[in-house]
Structure 1
Amino acid sequence: MKRIISILIIVGLLAIVVIQLAQNKKEAENRVYQYDKEAPVKVFGEVIKDKSETQNKTFRGLFESMNEVKVSADIQGKITHIFVEEGQKVSKGQALLKMDDQMLQLQLNVLETKLDGLKKDESRYLTLSNEDAVPAITLEKTQNAIATIEAEKKTILEQINKSTVRAPFNGVVSMKFCEVGGFAAPTVPLFELINQTELKFVINVPEEDLYLFTENQHYSVTTGISPKSISASLNQVSSKGGIGNSFKVEFALDNSTGIKPKMNGELKFVTNQSSNDALTISSKAIIGSESNPEIYVVSNGKAVRTPISILSRNGDYLSVNGEIKKGDTIVTGGFINLFDNANVIVNQ
């Protein structure tokens, strides 16, 4: 009897454990999220725009001198005279300063004395040589000595000429870095000279906007000192990017009257991007890489993964083509639960 009771107790305990495990399994299944692939996914979308997109572009920059240099001496020496001051207008070739050339003048006097004596000897030797009174070699040596002295004289004259520093072009002395009694050398700046009559306009352009600047296009620049715009033409685009991967773009100005270097200006124009096949979409719609781009196109309530080709970029917008058309709705956000042919609800 006791044996039967023990068996019944064990069987009862096992039944209780089985029932409890079944209940625990049911509760666990109820707590676990069951993903329903047919349930619609909430996404953000936009309608593909027209084939042409017009945008106003504004680029701010500075007016700079076409010629702006720091003038230094070609030779070294002590400064004895300074002929100009800051802010003074100068002409090309005008003397800016003079260095001490006393030693050079003394060397020149010595050479001229030697040269005068040698030329007198040459004259005598020519007469005696014709009469065979002196060897021809004596006349030849004298003539060689004259040629050597004349070459040395030219060198001294060139050094004397370079002891005066002159303006390389017409302009204004914007800064002076020297004083009388100071020392000038080829590596020491003496003056900063700028050309105020010939200016250029310089801006920094992000790489996605470089396509806007072409040689056959004309531009207008405005300033804060005049309501009139200044006509400008593209001069050059930097071949290397700078800070923030921006590129330096320079423009030549048709008229820069009244403008000074380092003044601010703005370049404005309207871009009209058009193409027979291109459409404009937001870059946020791209999935994958831009080398193999795809987008989700909403068709009959489903998100269809569609390959496209990127033609160009303009800021946050892309010019593309592919199996899409104007008026199609594309997904621009909410990709986390999205998959090909998923049911979607689009919030625009």
Structure 2
Amino acid sequence: MSFNHKSKRRKWRGPALAGVSLLCSALAAWWWLGRRPVVASEPRASRVAVNVIEVTRVRSETVRSYVATTAPLREVVAAAETQGKVVSIDLTPGQSLQRGQVLAKLDDTVLRANLEKAVVAEAQAKSDLERTRTLFDAGNLSREAIESADFAYRRAVADLAITQQQLEYATIRAPFDGVVDARIAELGGMLQPGSGVAHMVDLQVIKVVAAVPESDIRLFSLGQPLEVSFGFPPSIQKMGKVSGIAAMADDAHCYRIEVDVPNTSEPALKAGLSAQIHLRISTTSAPLSVPRSAVRGAAATPQLWTVQDNHVRIVDLPPLSEATAPYIPVENVPEGTLVILDGPDDLQAGAFVEPLPSPRRQ
């Protein structure tokens, strides 16, 4: 009996100790939770909507404009390369031409006769050379004879090439794809080598030329994209790239800048237009700042209403020296802090709010 009694006591001792341990743990947890403040999570519908903006560094952009004028990418006076009378010309200012297209023709009657004469002379010289070689190989002629025949043939070949080239010169062709700016020669006129036939310009790319003062030349670089406006007042806007920067300034201490603007889209540009080159310069201020509209209170006791964990937190600022400045420096507020721009005037510190982002400032 004694043994059974002890066995029963040991049987119930384990569960009893476990129950006591659980009870103590529950009491300790209840006591600990009772010491912590209870934070009630407010429903989203009870939050007050406010417009906010981040504390950032002010970024601003300035535009510097320079007076310019347009010029063709290249221009040339197409000229005659041989003497002759103009027998055909049909050019109109503004006419578009392709490279190699005929501008004018000169009288080539004499040149064609000379070409026929040169062809016959070349054939005769070639025949004489072949006959001389045959006789030389048979031992009937000296080496001097074959050398003389060879020289005569080579001279005839050269004369033929010159005559053919002179005949080609009688047809004057466009040196590149371009536009006729002015017609110089007239039908029936006599031209000498170098006499002008037409002034041609290449307008596939317009070159915009400006004079930049030495104080600004460091702001430009080759290949730099720039905005260009054309006309007076400016009515056409296109983009171009810097293609040339002078290495030496002029007497006014200005440097010549060239900007190439593609002229493949409408409206088509012409040379000699008034233009302006616009250089945009972006800057970032050093101090952190907020818009003046975000600062509340008097200039002597300004405050910021910030948002942290969806609650309003009031930050005191130093007195403002310039109450009308568009941006106010806030060195004691971390960058990225949300600042209330618009909201109810009766907001209090700790109020539960729903921040709505405002457009980012530039």
The separation in 2 between residues aligned to 1:104 and 1:130, in whole angstroms, is 39
Aligned to 1:92: 99
Aligned to 2:276: 266
| Residue among 219, 239, 243 paired with 1:235 | 243
Q: CA RMSD in A?
A: 3.0
The separation in 1 between residues aligned to 2:146 and 2:285, in whole angstroms, is 85
Q: Quick one: which amino acid aligns to residue 120 of structure 1?
A: S
Deviation at 1:90, TM superposition (A): 0.9
In the alignment, is the contact (CA less than 8 A) between 2:105 and 2:171 conserved in 1? yes
| 1:225-280 Cα distance to aligned partner (Å, 9 max, x none) | 9966322111112234346443221012245522222222222233357899xxxx
Aligned to 1:217: 224
Q: How does 1:184-195 map to 2 (within 5 A)?
A: 184-195=191-202
Q: Are 1:120 and 2:127 an aligned pair?
A: yes
TM-score, normalising length: structure 2:
0.55
CA pair 223-118 structure 1, distance change in 2 beyond 3 A: closer
Deviation at 1:158, TM superposition (A): 1.6
The separation in 2 between residues aligned to 1:226 and 1:186, in whole angstroms, is 44
**Whose radius of gyration is greater, 1 or 2?**
2
Q: Which moved more, 1:99-108 or 1:61-70?
A: 99-108
In the alignment, is the contact (CA less than 8 A) between 1:83 and 1:95 conserved in 2? no
| Residue among 159, 166, 169 paired with 1:162 | 169
Segments of 5+ residues of structure 1 without an aligned counterpart are 1-51, 277-326, 328-348
Q: Quick one: which amino acid aligns to residue 230 of structure 1?
A: K
Aligned to 2:257: 249
CA pair 256-248 structure 1, distance change in 2 beyond 3 A: farther
CA pair 76-241 structure 1, distance change in 2 beyond 3 A: farther
Q: Which moved more, 1:128-137 or 1:258-267?
A: 128-137
CA pair 256-242 structure 1, distance change in 2 beyond 3 A: farther
Aligned to 1:307: none
CA pair 275-71 structure 1, distance change in 2 beyond 3 A: farther
| 1:124-157 Cα distance to aligned partner (Å, 9 max, x none) | 3333333333334323321210111111211121
In the alignment, is the contact (CA less than 8 A) between 2:104 and 2:197 conserved in 1? no
CA pair 136-56 structure 1, distance change in 2 beyond 3 A: closer
CA pair 207-109 structure 1, distance change in 2 beyond 3 A: same
TM-score, normalising length: structure 1:
0.57
Aligned to 1:68: 75
Q: Are 1:174 and 2:178 an aligned pair?
A: no
